[in-house]
Every structure is written in structure tokens, then in C-alpha cells.
């Protein structure tokens, strides 16, 4: 397995991650007007604003293609589901163990809420694995290339993406092709042709592709694509199949977003259910 980053760096990463999570769940509370979004963004804590400033400046088509070439062949590690979850728990911020949920607890809160609502078993499995690909952080990838809202690259950035003003520093905005509405894509070409800004969503979807149904893969791949699934941006790149599949992305979103207020899961109690669930869907080791 690849070497992981220092514990101190992991704690800082976890802190930024926590701030980002809180920002996102605050920003996307139901029923906000566009004006309220702007006010909320303007009042974001400096850490979150700084995070998006760097993210928007660096997520170019070239950057994404390089990361896809580096990670999508899945040659980083071989890990089972629990093993990946345990590994990801290195991201916990130890300075405040009472209020912070571990990564596994967030995953279990998400999957347990899905299970309680009677959704299919594959969706419960998707809930558990949806953030496992944040292990990217532990391989030394910077936060801005792991978490955060995602958006297409290789075409014009939508003003519906959070902090759109920060795209001014992205070199692609002056590119003769990438700066146009469709960029390198054809109208309604389908999102499978579209390169998304790099992060745990894309990577996680690729890792899980052989094991879960397509609806689940859509949930994983687009769960941070808020500009689209919350605000309808980029519909001109989607085809009818995407639109049908996005009903599942939208169904999944509240389980991810509002898991924080829920009770802490009792891992020992529910572990047998998850052992069985993972055996049903996944082999003992998965390529990462
Ligand atoms: Fe996520
Ligand atoms: Fe999540």
C-alpha cells in the first residue's frame, strides 16, 4: 500500500474536510433562494472560501486528464470495504473526539438512514461506500482535489457552481474552446462523455463500477455535482438517460447531506448486517 501522510497533516485535512461538510449542508438546506445562496457563500468561513479559490483555479481539463490517467487504472491498492473504511478513519480529527464523527460513522449514518427508509440493498451499500474514495487524501492528494462541489471541465463553467467568481483564475477560461458553452463536448452528449473536476466522486464511482448497479454508480459519481442536481445547471450536456438516472442522485443526496444530526450508529450492533451486505456485493479485496 502507498505510504500515508503524516498524522498532523491528516488532522488538518480532517478539519478542512469537516468545515467543508458543514458549509455544504448549510448551503444546500431546502428552499434557499439564489440571493440567500450568495449571502451564505459570502459569509462562508475563510477556510472554505480559500478552499474553493484554490479548487477553482486548479481544476483545469489538463489537470483532470492527468489525475484520471494516474488513478483510474486502479493500481494504487487492494483493499476490502472494511479495510478501506478503517484506513479512511485516519482522517479523524483527534482534538475533539466527542463532537466529530469518524468517517465510518458518517458512512454508516448515511447507509443506515437509507436502510430505515426501506430502499434496496444496493442503495444501502452505495450509502456506505459513497465517500470511501476520500482515501485519496491519505495518499497525499490535496483537499481541493478530493472534496468539494464538482463541475464539468473542458467547457464553460456555470455561474451556478459555488463561488463562480474564483474561476477567473482558471487558465481554461481564456482557452478558445474550453471557454465556450459546449467546449469539447457536443450538445446533450451524455455525462459519461464529460470530464468532471477531479475528486473522490469520480474515483469512487470507478472503483465501485464492477460491483453496484448503474443507479448507484450515478449516485457516487455525481453526489457533489450540486450545480446540476440541485440547480439544474449543465442540462445541455445531459441526455435522457442521465435525466432518468439523476432521479436516483437526487434521492440519495439528503441521506448524505443531513446525516450529521442523526444518532451515532452502534457499529458493533449493526456490523453483522454489513458483513453480509458486503459479502453480497463485493469480493474480499477491491482494486483502488
Ligand atoms: Fe462525498
Ligand atoms: Fe458524504
Q: Is residue 198 part of a domain?
A: yes
Q: Is residue 202 part of a domain?
A: yes
- Residue 36, pLDDT score: 75
176 C-alpha to ligand 1 centroid (Å):
32
> Which own/partner contact pairs does 243-248 have at CB distance under 8 Å and 24+ positions apart?
245/214, 245/215, 245/218, 246/218, 246/222, 248/215, 248/216, 248/218, 248/219
> What ligand has the least distance to the C-alpha of 134?
1
Helix (H, G, I), strand (E, B) or coil at 78: strand
Q: Is residue 144 part of a domain?
A: yes
Mean pLDDT of the chain: 90
Domain containing 259 equals 7-287
148 half-sphere exposure, CB direction, 13 A CA radius:
29
User: Which cell numbers hold the place of 88?
Assistant: 479512511
Q: Is residue 1 part of a domain?
A: no
169 C-alpha to ligand 1 centroid (Å):
25
Residue 75 CB: number of other CB atoms within 10 A?
A: 10
Average pLDDT on 99-125 reads: 91
215 C-alpha to ligand 2 centroid (Å):
17
Q: Is residue 163 part of a domain?
A: yes
The Cα–Cα gap between 166 and 145 comes to 15
- Residue 184, pLDDT score: 98
Residue 98: pLDDT band (50, 70, 90) is: very low
Q: Is residue 2 part of a domain?
A: no
> What ligand has the least distance to the C-alpha of 224?
1
Residue located via cell numbers 458549509: 23
Residue 269 CB: number of other CB atoms within 10 A?
A: 8
User: Which cell numbers hold the place of 42?
Assistant: 459570502
Average pLDDT on 235-260 reads: 93
For residue 99, pLDDT beyond 70: no
User: Which cell numbers hold the place of 203?
Assistant: 474515483
257 C-alpha to ligand 2 centroid (Å):
7
Average pLDDT on 130-143 reads: 95
For residue 121, pLDDT beyond 90: yes
- In the chain, how many domains are there? 1
- Residue 39, pLDDT score: 74
- Residue 82, pLDDT score: 97
Q: Is residue 237 part of a domain?
A: yes
140 C-alpha to ligand 2 centroid (Å):
20
Window from 38-42, 44-48, 106-110, 165-169 with minimum mean pLDDT:
38-42
* Contact in structure between 134 and 40 (CB atoms under 8 Å): no
- Interior CA angle at 199 toward 242 and 122, to 5°? 55
Q: Is residue 189 part of a domain?
A: yes
Window from 18-32, 160-174, 205-219, 220-234 with minimum mean pLDDT:
18-32
Average pLDDT on 63-90 reads: 97
Distance from first CA to last CA of the chain, Å, rounded? 10
User: Which cell numbers hold the place of 58?
Assistant: 486548479
Q: Which of 166, 208, 150 is nearest to 53 (CA)?
A: 166
177 C-alpha to ligand 1 centroid (Å):
30
The Cα–Cα gap between 110 and 129 comes to 10
224 C-alpha to ligand 1 centroid (Å):
6
The Cα–Cα gap between 270 and 128 comes to 13
> What ligand has the least distance to the C-alpha of 199?
1
Amino acid at each position: 500500500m502507498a505510504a500515508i501522510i503524516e498524522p498532523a497533516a491528516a488532522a488538518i485535512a480532517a478539519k478542512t474536510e469537516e468545515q467543508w461538510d458543514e458549509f455544504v449542508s448549510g448551503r444546500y438546506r431546502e428552499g434557499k433562494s439564489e440571493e440567500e445562496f450568495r449571502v451564505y457563500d459570502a459569509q462562508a468561513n475563510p477556510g472554505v472560501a480559500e478552499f474553493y479559490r484554490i479548487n477553482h483555479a486548479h481544476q483545469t481539463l489538463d489537470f483532470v486528464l492527468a489525475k484520471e490517467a494516474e488513478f483510474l487504472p486502479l493500481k494504487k491498492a487492494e483493499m476490502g470495504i472494511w479495510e478501506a473504511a478503517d484506513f479512511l478513519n485516519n482522517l479523524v480529527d483527534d482534538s475533539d473526539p466527542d463532537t466529530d464523527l469518524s468517517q465510518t460513522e458518517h458512512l454508516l449514518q448515511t447507509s443506515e438512514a437509507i436502510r430505515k427508509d426501506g430502499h434496496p440493498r444496493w442503495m444501502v451499500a452505495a450509502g456506505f461506500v459513497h465517500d470511501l474514495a476520500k482515501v485519496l487524501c491519505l495518499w497525499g492528494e490535496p483537499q481541493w482535489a478530493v472534496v468539494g462541489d464538482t463541475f464539468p471541465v473542458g467547457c464553460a463553467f456555470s455561474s451556478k457552481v459555488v463561488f463562480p467568481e474564483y474561476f477567473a483564475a482558471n487558465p481554461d477560461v481564456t482557452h478558445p474552446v474550453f471557454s465556450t458553452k459546449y467546449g469539447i463536448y457536443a450538445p446533450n452528449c451524455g455525462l459519461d462523455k464529460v470530464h468532471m473536476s477531479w475528486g473522490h466522486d469520480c474515483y469512487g464511482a470507478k472503483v465501485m463500477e464492477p460491483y453496484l448497479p448503474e443507479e448507484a454508480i450515478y449516485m457516487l459519481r455525481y453526489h457533489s455535482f450540486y450545480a446540476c442536481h440541485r440547480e439544474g445547471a449543465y442540462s445541455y450536456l445531459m441526455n435522457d438517460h442521465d435525466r432518468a438516472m439523476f432521479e436516483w442522485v437526487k434521492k440519495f443526496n439528503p441521506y448524505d447531506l443531513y446525516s450529521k444530526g442523526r444518532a451515532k450508529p452502534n457499529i458493533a450492533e449493526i456490523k453483522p448486517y454489513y458483513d453480509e451486505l458486503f459479502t453480497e456485493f463485493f469480493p474480499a479485496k477491491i482494486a483502488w
